[in-house]
Amino acid sequence: MSERFASHERELCEMFANAAHGPRRNGLFAVWLILRVSGDAIAESGLSERARRRRSEALARRLASLNLPDALRSSVRETAELTTLQSLNVVPDALRDLIPTVRDTLGVRAAAVLTAAADEAAR
C-alpha cells in the first residue's frame, strides 16, 4: 500500500472483502487500484515519462478486465488515465471528479473514502 493513502486503501479493502461478488465488488476494487496507483505516483514523482506510460497501460489493462457498473466504467478509465499520465497536481481533481459516480454506484461510504483521499492528495 502506498503510505499516502494507506488508511483509505485499508477501508476500501474492508468494503471489498464484505461485498458480494459482482460489479459492485469489482467497482470497489477499481477504486482501490486507482488510489494505489495515485498514491504511488505522488510518492514516486520522479518517474520517467516511459515508466508513467507503462504504469498507465498496465492499470488500463487491469481495469478493462473488470465487470464494472456501466456508469462507473468510463469515469474509472478517465480518472486512471489522468492520475497516471498527467502532472501530479491533477491527482486531487481527478479523484474528486470520480466522487459523484462512486457515490451513485458504490455508495456514500466509498465516496467518503475517495473524498478523504482527494483531500489528502491536495495537501
Residue 11 has what pLDDT?
Answer: 92
70: in domain: yes
Q: Collapsing DSSP states into helix, strand and coil, what is residue 68?
A: coil
- pTM of this prediction? 0.84
Please give the pLDDT value at position 14: 92
pLDDT of residue 54: 83
CA dist., res. 4 & res. 32, Å (int):
13
Phi and psi at 67, nearest 5°, equal -85, 95
Give domain status of residue 1, yes or no. no
pLDDT recorded at residue 109: 95
User: Cell 508513467 identifies what position?
Assistant: 52
Which structural domain range is residue 102 located in? Answer: 6-122
Q: Could you give the C-alpha distances from 27 to 5, 50, 89, 91, 102, in angstroms and in order?
A: 18, 28, 25, 19, 8
| Low-confidence stretches of the chain (pLDDT beneath 70) | 1-2, 4, 44-46, 83-88
Q: SS3 breakdown of the chain: % helix, strand, coil, rounded to 5?
A: 80, 0, 20
Could you tell me if residue 57 is inside a domain?
yes
Task: State residue 45's pLDDT score.
Answer: 66
CB 55 within 8 A of CB 88: no
- Please give the tally of structural domains in the chain: 1
Q: What pLDDT was estimated at residue 30? A: 92
Q: What is the DSSP letter of 122?
A: H
